[in-house]
Amino acid sequence: MTVQYLNQTLRILLLFILTFVVLYFGSVVLVPLTFGLVLALLLLPVCHWLQKRGLGNGWASGLSVFALIAVVSGIIALLQYQLTDLLDDLSKIEQRVNELIEATKNYIQQHFGISHREQQKIIKEQQSGGMGQVAGMVTTLLGSFAGILVDTVLVLVYTFLFIFYRSHFKKFVLRLFKPDDRPTTEKVLDNSGKVIQSYLGGLAMMIIMLWVMYGIGFSIVGVKNAIFFAILCGVLELVPFAGNITGTSITVLMSLAQSSDTKIVFGVLIVYGCVQLLQTYVLEPIVVGDRLNINPLFTILIIVVGEAVWSIPGMVLAVPLLGIFKIICDNFEPLHDYGFLIGPPKEKKGEQGNFITRLFKSKKATS
């Protein structure tokens, strides 16, 4: 019995390894396809709402995708409008950057004994040897932009097709299983869609709240183009852990470049700290909540794995995909143990709540 159980476990682990190999080498095809599937699941309520208003499946599917394009285009237009104001101050920013460079040169000369002439010579040597690299970087950037444009079109097409043919795809998946297993399979499909909609819908609401809080906070501390940086920090929240740090770092650097007042930098850091506290202990428990029912350890682990397999797109998609996998594990007996491992520790009834609530309860119990 033990040998049989061990063989079954080894087969499942081998399946996991094979899955990761396929995901890694098939990223060019699978990343746009997965984004299309996730967005289709997110837009299903919109499509259903339009169909209830009398529209056909084709029109409802197309308008759902159009609504997504309109929302994303609105965000990009707002960023572009704010970026235009930012570019108007480009000469001042350039002057401030030159002042910072000069201050850095003076610091190096005073503390390391390297004169300005020697520093300039080192910089010229680096630039003369890197002209080919610069040209290569420009070519790579242009190629990356073209690739992103193609992938965006593919994602939109996949999203429309997944929505339009959702009934056909669902019937196909059900046909893969025995009649006795089809009710469970249908339950998994329905729950996967609901979890994705709930999680991404809550995440979108939280991002909007972050825009408001960052916008107010950055405006109070005196950051120029506060709305632009607020939207940037909120959008980068789509990339877990790294996104908010990146957005705040950009805001700090641009604040240094725009103004010589270091109080603004400290103000930005204070705003970041306050917003993160509110996000962690208020927004996420209330707005996002435990929608995916996943252990925090595996949330971090799957983000790291997603970055290793699919880079930044993998970090964005990792958590929702792990949520779907958790539902599959909970509904199919051979995977129950893995679902238990991925899920959070079970608490007694009435002991649920966020970290602060549990912390105060534990302190009260020990006092």
Mean pLDDT of 1-24: 76
Can you tell me the distance from the alpha carbon of 68 to that of 46, in angstroms, rounded to the nearest whole number? 10
Domain ranges of the chain: 29-112+144-163, 188-288, 292-344
Q: Tell me the per-residue pLDDT of 180-220, one tens digit each, with 9 for 90 and over.
A: 888 888 888 888 888 888 888 888 888 888 899 999 998 89
Mean pLDDT of 328-357: 68
Sequence-ordered list of residues with C-beta below 8 angstroms from that of 255, at least 6 positions apart, any chain: 223, 224, 264, 265, 268
- 352 — pLDDT class (breaks 50, 70, 90): very low
Q: Tell me the per-residue pLDDT of 244-255, one tens digit each, with 9 for 90 and over.
A: 788 888 888 777
Mean pLDDT of 72-78: 86
Q: Tell me the per-residue pLDDT of 279-318, one tens digit each, with 9 for 90 and over.
A: 877 777 666 656 667 887 888 888 888 888 888 888 888 8
Q: Tell me the per-residue pLDDT of 109-134, one tens digit each, with 9 for 90 and over.
A: 676 667 767 767 666 655 554 444 44
Mean pLDDT of 234-263: 76
pLDDT of residue 163: 93
Q: Tell me the per-residue pLDDT of 132-180, one tens digit each, with 9 for 90 and over.
A: 444 444 454 445 556 677 888 999 999 999 999 999 999 998 888 888 8
pLDDT of residue 145: 58
Please check the confidence at residue 57 and state whether its pLDDT lies above 70.
yes
Indicate the average pLDDT of the chain. 78
pLDDT of residue 180: 84
